Chains A and B, each alone.
Chain A
């Protein structure tokens, strides 16, 4: 490295950056100090905790998968077509990302709730009820998580030179073949990043879930809900639940990072 590219960091910048690091580090230190390590195993294998953990993993993974199935096509449409109203759609997607989750829960309740605008037909015609069901948890999670995937993948599609797709077309590829063998592999890092972001957001979902799906043990009580509930009565359990979520999230992010995120040039075929 030559001297021109290696700047000396101003002292004040170092101090402020250091404070930022501490701000992220200290809460975790505080948690780790207070975790009841001697009861850790017992609490972890407590059936309430296990149920909440299992429910959270199932719902957030399903939410991330559905977000990918619907979100990748939407990202493509936003990035590559001249569909009228694209900016309105993008604003709508962004809105549900920045909206307070509890408001998300309220709008879901008044649209897909049992007396909601569409919910009553879901119930009358199809017998589907979302509030107070696990499906409702997944719907709430998708609502808040999909925007992360859509915006991440859309930005990657935008950065992909459309001439790669032109090249594929001149080589005889159909639009679907081009999508599957050229466009999607080219943005695979963004797909992985978007999937992890959506999954993490779904895992942490609280406000929309409790508002729309309620707080039923084993059905809609996910890890964040269980943690909040435990905080009032059994702080030790809340600490263990938090620790489990930290470990799970951290493991996934590290795993994805090694495999995908930092290796945009690496082959996967």
Chain B
């Protein structure tokens, strides 16, 4: 499976114009300073924002192409989006949060719960099934949010700074957990992050966006060894 896209979004004071390519089983990290357009790119890929220019092509299927007046709304795209602040539904149990996607896509309530229950078990989260989101720690919330996004087996997984709200120790631990949760048959994954350690541990490739443009692509090692801009040099300048 392949995602090919050129994301062109016109902003009042800045234009986002980046092209990306991801294949199944690979994780692409998007890095860059605040306001560079990273989250906007994810919203466009998820179908929460229509492109002004460019295209989103997934395995030959067009998800968005303003020239052809083609726009597939978010709910028809098989994507999973995980937000920095989890956005679990507070009025539902963990189980019902994870069952939400299958239910919304037409499974009966009991089928959806069974799928969710199996999935939570696979991720060793079964003990949290009856908890409410407010009772979870930050790390637990993030893993439940990830489970909620993954249970429908998305073609494309979008992670918007999934670890940024966690403390440093939990974050280190969670990188291992997320790698485990994603498993071996991982979908095409795009990870937006500020943290070079996230990129080193979770990503195969990195692109860095500054002011709406890609300024460098490569593996995390490439970027650390040959940074193209002062920002990237500073970003990776750690022992």
Contact = CB atoms under 8 A, between A and B. Distances in A.
Given A170-B75, A171-B148, A186 B100 contact: no
A188 interface: yes
B81 A188 contact: no
Interface stretch (B4-12, B82-90, B182-190, B197-205): B82-90
Contacts, number: 75
B89 A169 contact: no
A269 B96 contact: yes
Contact of B47 (A170, A173, A185, A269): A170
Contacts of B103: 181
Contact of A267 (B47, B83, B87, B93): B93
A164 B90 CA distance: 10
A163 interface: yes
A268 B91 contact: yes
Nearest to B106: A172
A50 B89 CA distance: 46
A188 B91 contact: yes
Interface in A48-92: none
Contacts of B93: 267, 269
Given A167-B81, A169-B47, A186-B89, 14 more contacts: A167-B87, A170-B47, A170-B74, A170-B75, A173-B75, A181-B104, A185-B92, A186-B90, A188-B91, A265-B134, A267-B91, A268-B91, A269-B92, A269-B93
A267 B75 contact: no
Interface of A: 161, 163-164, 166-174, 177, 181-182, 185-186, 188, 265, 267-269
B162 interface: no
A168 to B, nearest CB: 7
A171 B73 CA distance: 11
B101 interface: yes
Given A269-B92, A269-B93, A269-B96, A170 B80 contact: yes
A186 B91 CA distance: 7
Which among A164, A168, A172 has the highest number of chain B CB atoms within 10 Å? Answer: A172
B56 interface: no
B226 interface: no
B152 interface: yes
Interface in B61-109: 73-77, 79-81, 83, 87, 89-93, 96, 100-101, 103-105
B47 to A, nearest CB: 7
B75 A181 contact: no
A188 B103 CA distance: 21
Nearest to A171: B101
